Structure 1
């Protein structure tokens, strides 16, 4: 089944070239189906790239999905046009009375800042609080995962000695969890971050469990035992070239970044990186939609008010 998005969203053209079935709003109105309502809080600078990456993954399911986008009203986007935001994004005040089956909170390149110094931290805290009664299951990515752990459990991030960037092996620790159903014992995933979370802090939090981690990169996936919140420290949604673009961006800024590990063949920048993580990415997001959301979400989403997650 297709994903349903605004009719003129530029990401549609990219996805259609990849033979991904995208249904616009007009056609979807004629189907008598209760689709899943998914909200994406896009905190990434280049929002159009992240839109394509996430919509691609959400399409790998037989479920029909309505997708809406949210941006922070208390932050001025510098890499996305105001016209794009006005046409395809909502502000929190516009939808805070609505209910959603799922919420995805992306990463953001602001790890060097304490959470309280982020200009939209107060607004984001309101969204976290709202999500407890208006969203059935939330999937947090990278900085979004660290921010969620900090807000909900007071688990703080810590600065790494250097940027963690590359493609790393990860071990599945809890294969019986439905979100990891069908996974091999080991899978690849990209990381791109300056901060991390201590596994000790997760283990000391009764509601949380470590589901997958890497000997090199550390934690990858943490789940709330009620299946209503997941925290991914890496970026399975990344494209083949994303780490390369980030490396070149940092070079242009004079940062002198480390070469992403296990990414360029033979560490040769002239060679095309191998795509080794999209199978895991597709499976993880499909499992989240199917088992954590679709199989358990109430038909009447207003029933979420009856249970605080």
Structure 2
């Protein structure tokens, strides 16, 4: 992963990463150490935009959901101390979206915008089967804000029979699940692709367009200094 990131630094206009890759690149490029949490952050959390002017989040909802599934966290304070710009965050889910100090070269998702409707369901099923096999000693909790009441009512009576529960999760629970994050995730990634197109030279051997400053590709830092 680090080899790819270092290659990309000198060959492409921008890199986008999520969750574990985000933590790895933040450590490599900025020396930021992720911090273990007492409990896994697992579920769907509501986030708000914290910098409405950045082109990456142009014309997206000011509040939107994001799935998270991780044991470690990097805080707003750690990110801003290293010069990164936080674009979206949550009181319960922490920082979701930040950009490198140059505002464009690396896009950091701490959540999982790429998850589909059943990604967390598959993770929950995996943990249930680990419990059934004895690999896990405690009954896995529900991912937060993911299973609606109708789904919980199907799951809870079946927890004593994990063999039956696996079938219930696949057959009966899935229809009750909603994807409340996908449209916003696609909008952000579409904005990112637009930025990449804007910055990238038409010649494959050249990284940027002639007028692009690699340290300030979108001229955001220059504009801030002029204010």
Given candidates 199, 205, 215, the residue that maps to 1:302 is 205
Which residue in the other structure is 2:191 paired with?
A: 287
Do the aligned partners of 2:85 and 2:103 also contact (CA within 8 Å) in 1? no
2:136 is aligned with 1:262: no
Do the aligned partners of 2:57 and 2:191 also contact (CA within 8 Å) in 1? yes
Which sections of structure 1, spanning at least 5 residues, go unmatched? 1-123
Alignment of 1:158-307 (within 5 A): 158-206=35-83, 208-224=84-100, 225-254=102-131, 255=136, 256-266=139-149, 268=152, 269=155, 271=173, 272-290=176-194, 292-304=195-207
The CA distance in 2 between the partners of 1:176 and 1:301, in whole Å, is 30
Which residue in the other structure is 1:135 paired with?
A: 12
Compare CA radii of gyration and give the structure with the larger one: 2
Do the aligned partners of 2:12 and 2:200 also contact (CA within 8 Å) in 1? no
Instruction: Kindly indicate which of the two structures has a greater share of residues assigned to strand.
Output: 1
Greater RCO structure (CA 8 Å; 6+ sep): 2
Query: Alpha-carbon deviation of 1:288?
Result: 0.7
Question: TM-score with structure 2 length normalisation?
Answer: 0.76
Secondary structure, aligned partner of 1:295: helix
Which residue in the other structure is 2:165 paired with?
A: none
C-alpha RMSD of the superposition: 1.8
Which residue in the other structure is 2:22 paired with?
A: 145
Q: 1:226 to 1:185 in 2, by over 3 A?
A: closer
Paired residues, number:
184
Which sections of structure 2, spanning at least 5 residues, go unmatched? 156-171, 216-227
Query: Alpha-carbon deviation of 1:152?
Result: 0.4
